[in-house]
């Protein structure tokens, strides 16, 4: 994502913003890779579902994007108590998985 760092800085909520922007970026990348195998140019999960990409492939793309975005959110710098708390909950989630 071109302006990812600017978006994260502007929101003043680095953990959740990192989680969401990372997920969007990774899911688009994963969907592009899947759609390229079929000779199509699809970027979003919604478009992939509407254009007949198998749900098995879409769910794998989402799962991989979720895993990468969770790790990105846990690794970012949290300053507020709210962000530190969210990071701790995400760490617990990752450890339990």
Query: Which residues have CB under 8 Å from 78's CB, separation 6+?
Result: 14, 15, 84, 86, 87
How many angstroms separate the first and last alpha carbons of the chain?
27
Give tens-digit pLDDT for 2-41: 788 888 889 889 999 999 999 999 999 999 999 998 888 9
Tally of helices (H runs) and strands (E runs) in the chain = 5, 0
Q: Which residues of 10-32 are buried (b: 16+ CB within 10 A; e: fewer)?
A: eeebbbbbbbbbbbbbbbbbbbb
Whether the predicted model's global pTM rises above the 0.85 cut: yes
């Amino acid at each position: 994502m071109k302006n990812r760092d600017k978006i994260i800085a502007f929101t003043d909520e680095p953990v959740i913003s990192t989680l969401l922007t990372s997920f969007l970026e990774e899911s688009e990348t994963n969907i592009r890779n899947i759609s390229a195998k079929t000779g199509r140019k699809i970027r979003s999960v919604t478009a992939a579902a509407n254009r007949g990409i198998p749900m098995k492939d879409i769910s794998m793309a989402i799962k991989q994007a979720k895993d990468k975005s969770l790790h990105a959110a846990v690794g970012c710098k949290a300053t507020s108590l709210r962000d530190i708390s969210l990071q701790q909950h995400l760490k617990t989630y990752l450890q339990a998985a």
